[in-house]
Each structure stands twice: as structure tokens, then as C-alpha cells.
């Protein structure tokens, strides 16, 4: 019987983090767009965004490091799907307060106040804002956690001893 090695355990953890992240992403995205009459186009656009992000991570080839980078993107998208409903709720509350103030409506115009009647308002923009904020502030922390769990030191790109740039 073959005993699991440290490498096998890390690969198993990496696969579990990737599949768990994808599963949670689908769950939270469906929860996020559940208020729409036809949520599939919005889900498709979020999926296309994830595919583009993964494409840019996979440009350097398929290895353990790039799979870990894809996993980082999946988890950032998952966290964005978790926090986007809160941001959208804040947006809707702000716009309700805006529409309830006749002076602001007269100053800015009726078309901004009537935008509240659109049920699709804010889904894509709130998700994109959450994703951007997470990428700016938490990408390093997510990478550090996932790389520690899923990669060995030999899986990471090593700097060139002459110029200091990363080798693949």
C-alpha cells in the first residue's frame, strides 16, 4: 500500500480548495442574482469575468503555481459574491434616500430617481466594486494562505541569481 507523501497531501488540498471555491462561488452567485427574473445572463457575465481572470493566470503554462493562482482568483470571486449583496443593499438604501428628497431629485433630474425602478440596478457594478476592492486589499493575504497550504517552496518561481527577475 502506498503511503501519501507531503506532495500528495498538498495536491489534494489544492484540488479541494479549488473545487470548494468553485462550489461556493456558484452557490453565492446564485444567491446574489436570485432576485432577477432571468439570472442566467448575469451568471454568464460573471463566469466570463472569471474565465478571463483565469486565462491571464494560465498564460505562463499549466503547473502547480498557476493552478494556485487560479484558485486565488476563484476565492476572490467567491468573497466578492459574498460581499456584493451588502454593497448593493447599501446602494439601494442610498438611492431610496436620494429619491425621497425632492430637492435632490429636482437638482439632478428625474431620470436618476426613476432608475430605482430597474430591478437589475447595481448587480454588476456592486460585484465589480467588491472584486476590485478585494483584489487591491486582500490578494496578498489570500495568496499567502493558499500558497502555504497548496504549494511547496520548489513550486514557486525562483528569482534569477544574476538579475533578480523570476524564472519560470
pLDDT computed for residue 159 by the predictor: 63
Domain tally, the chain: 1
Tell me, yes or no, whether 162 lies in a domain: no
Q: Which residues contact 67 (CB under 8 A, 6 or more apart)?
A: 14, 18, 150
Tell me, yes or no, whether 50 lies in a domain: yes
Name the residue range of residue 16's domain. Answer: 11-30+42-152
What percentage of the chain has pLDDT greater than the value 90? 44
Tell me, yes or no, whether 161 lies in a domain: no
Tell me, yes or no, whether 57 lies in a domain: yes
pTM: 0.83
**Phi, psi at 41, each rounded to 5°:** -60, -40
Tell me, yes or no, whether 98 lies in a domain: yes
Tell me, yes or no, whether 165 lies in a domain: no
Question: What are the pLDDT digits (tens) for 63-118?
Answer: 887 888 899 999 999 999 999 999 999 988 888 888 788 887 788 777 777 777 77
Tell me, yes or no, whether 163 lies in a domain: no
Amino acid at each position: 500500500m502506498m503511503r501519501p507523501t507531503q506532495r500528495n497531501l498538498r495536491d489534494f488540498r489544492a484540488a479541494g480548495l479549488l473545487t470548494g471555491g468553485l462550489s461556493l462561488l456558484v452557490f453565492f452567485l446564485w444567491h446574489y442574482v436570485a432576485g432577477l427574473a432571468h439570472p442566467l445572463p448575469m451568471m454568464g457575465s460573471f463566469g466570463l469575468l472569471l474565465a478571463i481572470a483565469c486565462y491571464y493566470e494560465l498564460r505562463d503554462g499549466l503547473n502547480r503555481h498557476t493552478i494556485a493562482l487560479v484558485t486565488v482568483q476563484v476565492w476572490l470571486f467567491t468573497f466578492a459574491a459574498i460581499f456584493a449583496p451588502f454593497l448593493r443593499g447599501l446602494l439601494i438604501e442610498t438611492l431610496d434616500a436620494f429619491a425621497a428628497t425632492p430637492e435632490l431629485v429636482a437638482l439632478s433630474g428625474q431620470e436618476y430617481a426613476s432608475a430605482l425602478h430597474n430591478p437589475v440596478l447595481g448587480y454588476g457594478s456592486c460585484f465589480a466594486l467588491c472584486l476590485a476592492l478585494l483584489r487591491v486589499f486582500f490578494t496578498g493575504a489570500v495568496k499567502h494562505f493558499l500558497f502555504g497550504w497548496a504549494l511547496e517552496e520548489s513550486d514557486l518561481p525562483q528569482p534569477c541569481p544574476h538579475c533578480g527577475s523570476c524564472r519560470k
